[in-house]
Amino acid sequence: MPGGNRLCWRVMTRPYDNAKAALKRFYAKRVDAPPILDAGSKFPNHVKFVAAWRQIRDEAIAARIETMPRFHELMKAQTRISAADAKDWRMMLVKAYGIEVKANAEKMPTLTRLLDDCPEVSSATVSFLAPGKHIPPHTGPFPGIMRFHLGLSMPMGKDGRPATVMTIDGKPYRFGDGGCLLWDDTYMHEVLNASDQPRIALLLDVWRPQMPPSLEFVSRAIAGSVRLAMRVKGPSYGG
């Protein structure tokens, strides 16, 4: 199991656990955003990732995402949703709160170049869902970060539609290879790969633009504390 992946997420677990409840209350009083966001205005650089989805996919497959750690092996706080069934949800962490995971970044040169040009992207992960994997309903920690999904290898169902269904705030969303969605993961959401093939997607955490100054300060402070903890634990987070 790649040591850098494991170290990054273990360091992130404690701040995540301690801050999640308080952050939700703090942001809920100050941010009123819909579950689905307009990528064109909120994350204009998304077009760069969409244009390169084939290269990113090929690099992800070559990196053998199916051998990477399961999410709950990296971050114990996520055991309830990651290990809800016996099927894999594996992650390859390329960037975490602004810190590059060098060994994994070297496997993903196209993605790494794009990340270098897009400082608004705080974290980048390639996500692998095994056939039949269900991620039960859950919410993210705070809306200072937006979540961007880019389909890399999205299996199709017998009905000709994408077989992976992401339900956000009670509404189902499907997209195929090269398809994308920008959304607020503090809304209740779940995912089902209803196929006999794995699903591979790129997940980006993107700073929400034009936040009120108080939210901007808190968000940056949280990210800074996580980065500091990661750096204190060691200079290298390679795989």
Could you tell me the CATH number of the domain that includes residue 221? 2.60.120.330
Q: Which residue has the higher pLDDT, 228 or 82?
A: 82
Helices (H), 63-144: 71-74, 79-82, 102-107, 109-116
Q: Is the pTM of this model over 0.85?
A: no
Q: Using an 8 Å Cβ cutoff, are 102 and 236 in contact? A: yes
Residue 180 lies in a domain: yes
Beta-strand runs (E) in the chain = 36-37, 89-96, 99-100, 121-129, 134-138, 145-153, 164-168, 171-173, 180-183, 189-193, 199-207
Q: Is the pLDDT of residue 204 over 80?
A: yes
Domain extent for 37 = 3-233
Residue 109 lies in a domain: yes
Q: Using an 8 Å Cβ cutoff, are 151 and 180 in contact? A: yes
Give tens-digit pLDDT for 110-164.
999 999 999 999 999 999 999 999 999 998 876 788 999 999 999 999 999 999 9
Residue 239 lies in a domain: no
In order of 2, 147, 158, the CA distances from 31 in angstroms are 37, 16, 40
**Greatest CA separation for the chain:** 51
What integer pLDDT is reported at residue 221 of this predicted model?
63
Residue 238 lies in a domain: no
What integer pLDDT is reported at residue 9 of this predicted model?
44
Q: Using an 8 Å Cβ cutoff, are 4 and 69 in contact? A: no
Q: How many domains does the chain have?
A: 1
Q: Which residue matches tokens 């497959």?
A: 61
Residue 84 lies in a domain: yes
Q: Which residue matches tokens 């209350």?
A: 25
